[in-house]
Amino acid sequence: MVSQANGVWGTAEEVPGTPILNAGGGAGVTSVSCALGGYCAAVGSYSDSRGHQQAFVVSEANGVWGSAEEVPGTAARARRI
C-alpha cells in the first residue's frame, strides 16, 4: 500500500497481513475506496497454500493501515470447487 498526504506520496509497502495469507504467492490489491483522507478500505486477492484464489479486505484509519483479513466464507467456498 502507499499513502498520500498533503499532495506527497509515501513509500509503497506490503499490505500488512498478506505474508500470512499469501502462501501461494500473487497477492494484489484490486480496488481502494476512501471516504475521507486517512480512512480507506481496500480489497484484493491472494493464492492460498493450495493455489486457490481467496479475497482479502484491509482498512485504514487515521492514516494507518490495519492487517489484511480473509473475506469470511471465501476459503470454505474454494474447498468445494
The pLDDT tens digits for 41-79 are 999 999 888 888 889 999 999 888 899 999 887 766 555
Total domains present in the chain: 1
Give the percent of the chain with pLDDT over 70: 91
Q: Give the type of residue at 23.
A: A
Q: Across the chain, what does the average pLDDT equal?
A: 83
pTM equals 0.77
pLDDT for 21 equals 85
Q: How many helices (H) and strands (E) does the chain have?
A: 2, 7
DSSP state of 51: S
Domain containing 15 equals: 4-80
